[in-house]
Amino acid sequence: MKKPQRISTTDRNNKIVCFTLKKAKNTSGTTHYRVTGTLHKEHLDKKFKHRWEAERFIDTLQKQEDAARSKQNNINTTLTQKQVNDATAAFDKIPKKVSLSQIVDFYIHHKPDEEKSVSEAYEHYLSEKKRVGLSKNTIREINTVMKPFVKEYSYYLTSSIQEADLSKLIQKGKVSDQTQNNRQRVYKKFFNYCFTQDWVSQNPLRRYGMIKIDHDTVKVFTPKEARTVIETVAHKDHEALLPYITLMMFCGLRNSEASKLSWDKIHFDGDTVNVYIDAKIAKTPSRRCITAQNNAARLLKYCKDNNLTETYPKNFRKRFDRLKAATEIEWSNNILRHSFGTYRYALTDSADATSKEMGNSPAILKKYYNRPVAKSDAEKFFELEI
């Protein structure tokens, strides 16, 4: 049996079409010649008794396509032959009840007025955010999240970026749902900016939903565990961390604030100690002055008297990991600040006062820090010191 013969022809739209001519046997033992192929999205499957009949069938199709092409090319038009062929090919892709003019109008309406590469758009975006006074912490977060994206898609046009390109970066690595939401928020704001600049016709993440997160109340140290932390950090091996622990656990600073606070922002006035969180280290709405609780004031004075004035000492991560291991208790994420917020709220019974000290809203405080804590435990907590 001979191998099937492939016969190429050209349809009326100048597309190459291939037909297969194959010799086969009928169930009766006689032979036939079968022609198969697809022409104008219609599948053809014909059987012929003789080979010359099959070949003539294909030749007839070719002549019909040639005649159709000649007829459509003879239409009076100012288009070049190449443009006619291009338009004809485009019609095969158009959905039913949609005209070519509608598609062209849609493209013109949605095409960005100006094309920008990802790297160019990102430089503009960062420059604008710095101009309007975004905090260094926010700029740092933008850089951290977008660095992999800018590196991988630097020379791509912003208008060519699709949801799939961003979703793989949002979901990359074994990260929490909250981290994914944070990444999405950064990317979405960047493409909203691109949209306002007419660099993209729409935000590629416009349909990408946030992950719903059910937040439990935060975890905190018991007064006994907090005492263990203070007693451990007072040891010579760990005392360099005492300013940081004091500011986080007894003044309620954020990690980003405690790690960047300079000692000259801690003001000593007799028994009163005020900690100033200025715009350089705070989230924009969180600039504030915190009057330290009595135990925190005495701890900070102890630090001052013993020349422990680095709020974030060198090799901090290694030091902090050694401290946590030495306490032999369980530490959860941000437990120092969470302990302050929970016990301070229990002690004052005022969401407004506590949220003002912490630099967040009363609504956030009530949502995360409103857990059943005895006022006596809160009093014990704020009596802890060396």
Give me the mean pLDDT over the 41-54 stretch.
87
Please provide the average confidence, as pLDDT, over all residues in the chain. 88
Give me the mean pLDDT over the 83-105 stretch.
75
Across 74-83, 166-175, 277-286, the highest mean pLDDT is recorded for 166-175
Give me the mean pLDDT over the 225-231 stretch.
97
Determine the length of the chain: 386
Give me the mean pLDDT over the 59-84 stretch.
73
For 347-356, what is each residue's pLDDT tens digit?
A: 999 999 999 9
Pick the CATH number of 223-381 from 3.30.9.30, 1.10.3210.10, 3.10.20.440, 1.10.443.10: 1.10.443.10
Task: Assign 267 a pLDDT band (cuts: 50, 70, 90).
Answer: very high
Is residue 165 scored above 60 in pLDDT?
A: yes
Is residue 148 scored above 70 in pLDDT?
A: yes
Is residue 277 scored above 90 in pLDDT?
A: yes
Question: Which pLDDT value is given to residue 217?
Answer: 66
Give me the mean pLDDT over the 11-25 stretch.
85
Question: Which pLDDT value is given to residue 107?
Answer: 65
**Domain segments of the chain: what residues?**
5-74, 118-196, 223-381
For helices 81-91 and 51-73, the axis angle rounded to 10 degrees is 110
For 322-344, what is each residue's pLDDT tens digit?
A: 999 999 999 988 899 999 999 99
CB atoms within 10 A of CB 194: 25
Q: Are 128 and 193 in contact (CB under 8 A)?
A: yes
CATH topology of domain 118-196: DNA polymerase; domain 1 (1.10.150)
Give me the mean pLDDT over the 78-103 stretch.
75
